[in-house]
Amino acid sequence: MDICFRTCTIIKFVDTTNVYNATTNTGGWENAVGGDDISTATISVVDEDGEAMFTYTVTSEIPDTVTGDIAFTEYDDTELDDGEYTLTYTLTTSANTVYSYTKTFLNTCHFEACIDSLIATIPEKICANRCDKEYIDDVLTIEALLYGYKCAAQCDKDTIKTEIEKKLERFCDFQCDC
């Protein structure tokens, strides 16, 4: 399952299971189950505390015969705060067999928008005072914090991730009201 944030409120989900192949994709569609055998298909997202953020029903978007990736209609009903989430993609067949896939993902949309807005102000700041190179250094430091945040999340360094998240939240809430 791929997840792509189009904006801070629009999320695109793509089932990348693809079609069964005895050599390269033994868990693919059309082996044990075909699209025509699915009675329910949902995508659920919960936050780090286990609180349900939303459940998106995609049953009608599963084709009768799966021939490749399934790009679901973009989800546009909620805005997730920056942080780590768990997605669960659940398929139930007409025989009540349940297939479930879970994936953890990191949303940094608001932090990125905050930092992008700061980067956009660099020319204005430098034109106002060509000697003020500290502003660029400050913006680059904040951007480096974002990369550190992503790395800490990817490497399961929860304590470090939480500390960096607090700094980014404090800065963005103060600096640009993100």
Task: Mark whether 36 and 92 lie in a shared domain.
Answer: yes
Number of domains forming the structure of the chain: 2
Q: How far apart are alpha carbons 77 and 96 in whole angstroms?
A: 29
Q: Which secondary-structure segment (H or E) carries 109?
A: helix 109-120
Task: Mark whether 118 and 42 lie in a shared domain.
Answer: no
CATH, residue 14? 2.60.40.4070
Contact 119, 142 (CB under 8 A): no
Is the pLDDT at 97 greater than 70? The verdict is: yes
Please tell me which residue, 173 or 171, carries the higher pLDDT value: 171
Task: Mark whether 82 and 115 lie in a shared domain.
Answer: no
Task: Mark whether 35 and 97 lie in a shared domain.
Answer: yes
Q: How far apart are alpha carbons 83 and 104 in whole angstroms?
A: 11
Mean predicted confidence (pLDDT) in 47-71:
95
Confidence band (pLDDT; 50, 70, 90) for 178? very low
pLDDT at 175: 58
Task: Mark whether 112 and 100 lie in a shared domain.
Answer: no
pLDDT at 106: 92
Which of 55, 76, 106 terminates a domain? The answer is: 106
Confidence band (pLDDT; 50, 70, 90) for 53? very high
Task: Mark whether 6 and 85 lie in a shared domain.
Answer: yes
Residue 16 lies in domain: 2-106
Task: Mark whether 84 and 163 lie in a shared domain.
Answer: no
Task: Mark whether 134 and 98 lie in a shared domain.
Answer: no
Which of 106, 124, 157 terminates a domain? The answer is: 106
Is the pLDDT at 121 greater than 90? The verdict is: no
The 10s digit of each residue's pLDDT in 54-65 is 999 999 999 999
Contacts of 164 (CB under 8 A, 6+ apart): 145, 148, 149, 152
